[in-house]
């Protein structure tokens, strides 16, 4: 029965998943940005990370501490930040997903600048399953 009202438990699971996603979203953003900075400038400095994330420098420092705790990045005091293999892999995944989400939005008629803006929040909630559907849709697009 496709159109049942979801049970309370189903719905609770949905919200639980959305909360989990939220918990990793920040990690994903930092990891992607650190990857960008290393690619662009050869290294990722805390000050640059903070500026791009739009947060104060100690906030970035704290986030980096969390990345290190989770095995995504490494750093030594007063030195730049680097990604572990795991972090680099996450950055790559996130970057690809971001691109796909932006393209999908544009493909359904969202202006490019708005697509970019909304994608920043949307992308984290796009499951692998949905991502594959997006890719298939884009591949089937005329032009």
Partner DNA sequence: CGCAAAATATAGCATAGGCTATTTCTTCGC
Partner DNA sequence: GCGAAGAAATAGCCTATGCTATATTTTGCG
* Residues engaged in binding DNA (CB under 7 A): 19, 23, 26, 45-48, 53-59, 61-64, 66, 75, 77-80
Hey, which residues between 65 and 94 contact a second copy (CB under 8 A)? none
Shorter beta-carbon distance to DNA: residue 45 or 93: 45
Tokens of 68: 């290190």
- Signed CA dihedral, 83, 42, 40, 33: sign only: positive
* 101, 134 contact by CB (below 8 A): yes
Longest CA–CA span in the chain (Å) reads: 59
Shorter beta-carbon distance to a second copy: residue 70 or 135: 135
- Is residue 24 at the binding interface for a second copy, with CB under 8 A as the rule? no
Terminal alpha carbon distance of the chain: 37
CA–CA distance, 15 with 21 (Å, rounded to integer): 10
Binding residue (CB under 8 A) for a second copy from 31, 48, 81, 100: 48
Give the one entry of DNA, a second copy, none that residue 23 binds, where binding means its C-beta sits below a cut-off of 5 to 8 angstroms depending on kind: DNA
- Is residue 109 at the binding interface for a second copy, with CB under 8 A as the rule? yes
* 38, 88 contact by CB (below 8 A): no
Provide φ and ψ at 118, rounded to 5°.
-70, -35
Catalog residues that contact a second copy under the rule CB under 8 A. Answer: 2, 5-6, 8, 11-18, 21-22, 29, 33, 40, 48, 51-55, 104-105, 108-112, 114-118, 120-122, 124-127, 129-130, 133-134, 136-137
């Amino acid at each position: 029965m496709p159109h049942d009202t979801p049970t309370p438990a189903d719905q609770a699971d949905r919200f639980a998943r959305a909360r989990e996603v939220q918990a990793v979203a920040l990690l994903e953003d930092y990891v992607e940005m650190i990857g960008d900075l290393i690619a662009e400038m050869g290294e990722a400095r805390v000050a640059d990370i903070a500026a791009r994330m739009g947060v104060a420098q100690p906030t970035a420092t704290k986030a980096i501490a969390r990345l290190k705790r989770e095995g995504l990045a490494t750093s030594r005091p007063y030195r730049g930040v680097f990604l572990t293999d795991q972090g680099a892999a996450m950055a790559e995944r996130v970057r690809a997903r971001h691109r796909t989400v932006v393209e999908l939005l544009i493909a359904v008629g969202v202006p490019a600048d708005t697509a970019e803006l909304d994608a920043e929040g949307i992308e984290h909630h796009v499951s692998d399953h949905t991502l594959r559907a997006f890719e298939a849709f884009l591949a089937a697009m005329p032009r």
